[in-house]
Chain A
Amino acid sequence: MRDAVRVWVLPAGAGPDELARYRAVLDPAERARAARLAADGLRDRFTVAHGALRVPGGRATGASPAALTWRRGRYGKPALTGPWRGLHTSLSYSGDLVAVALSEGRPVGVDIQHVVPGGDPVSASARFFHPREARHVAAGCDQAVRARRFVRLWARKEAAVKAAGGRLWPNLGMPVDRADVVECADPAGRHRLADVVAPQGCAVAVALAGQEPYAVECRTDLGDFR
């Protein structure tokens, strides 16, 4: 059977009741990290993102969402521990949206990026991306197109690096523009990318380890998790 990855793209903001439900499934370390975030918006986004990862994670494993535990790998990629190791997870947030992804059996990376007005996508891609990608960004007919091209490539790179458990910065030169199967340099390995349908003004990409095709199921709500 074809592999599948499930992706949720959710609003980062939530009302007090929903926030309380997300907060209730965080572990003490996550609550402490949330408390350190100075701005309300950042704190709420962190709470929603980590809570939103735990809710479907609990459903997929049959465990209580609050009981799930992750261990960080060499470059910080969190991996579920103990009996839940077969389930792979990833999360990302940007602006007012969060994205979480679950995959059975294959390491997963998801990334969401908003188009940020005022940035300089041409300079950024010339400095950090593969030369062909930098030319593609620079050839956009106006600033909006150049910015969209840049964030799509950035999301694809970051998703692949997250699936690989590598470091983003040394892998920014990895070309991701022409093919969905890409080669991460460190740690070396092939990963298959997919663009995920995203709200206007942002790009979402997901990657699974290995080059075999997979289905992407994208949802925009978690359902009832009281």
Chain B
Amino acid sequence: MLEHDVPTRDQVVERLTVLLTRMLRPDAPVTEQTQLMDELGLSSSLGLELLLALEDELEIQIDVEELDEDRMATLADLADYITANSTAR
């Protein structure tokens, strides 16, 4: 991958997993099927911190114009959204 390419979905999943584990310290491992709000209790303000951290770590900008709760129900949903709606900085 070139330095400023948009990250792959696998890379987004890996960083989301690390960041969510660090921020929310869940009892069970975070997987693609983890329900972010229903299982982890992710709030909108924590979601904002998560997106900011992800943007910094992956050097991307996430377009939030189409983001809503349905698109961040599971880690897989959010990874799909970010992969499709990000540009390299």
Contacts and interface: CB of A to CB of B under 8 A. Distances in A.
Contact of A37 (B41, B49, B67): B41
A170 to B, nearest CB: 5
Interface in B12-36: 26-28, 35
A42 B64 contact: no
A173 to B, nearest CB: 10
A93 B40 CA distance: 14
A120 B39 contact: no
Interface residues on A, range: 20 to 34
A154 B41 contact: no
B52 interface: yes
Nearest to B26: A38
A127 B51 CA distance: 10
A152 B23 CA distance: 22
Interface residues of B, number: 22
Interface string A74-94: 011000000000000000011
B41 A39 contact: yes
Contact of A128 (B38, B41, B48): B48
A128 B48 CA distance: 9
Nearest to A161: B44
A225 interface: no
B35 A120 contact: no
Contacts of B55: 127
Nearest to A43: B41
Contacts of B48: 124, 128
A45 B43 CA distance: 13
A33 interface: yes
B70 interface: yes
A124 B49 contact: yes
Given A38-B27, A124-B48, A169 B65 contact: yes
B13 to A, nearest CB: 20
Contacts of A42: 41
Contacts of A123: 52
Given A167-B67, A167-B68, A169-B68, A124 B41 contact: no
Contacts of B65: 169-170
Contact of A76 (B40, B52, B67, B69): B69
20 contacts: A36-B39, A37-B39, A38-B26, A38-B39, A38-B40, A39-B26, A45-B41, A75-B68, A76-B69, A120-B49, A127-B52, A127-B55, A151-B45, A154-B45, A158-B44, A168-B68, A169-B64, A169-B67, A169-B68, A170-B65
Given A37-B38, A76-B69, A158-B44, 14 more contacts: A33-B38, A37-B41, A38-B28, A39-B27, A45-B41, A75-B68, A76-B68, A76-B70, A93-B43, A123-B52, A127-B55, A167-B67, A168-B44, A169-B68
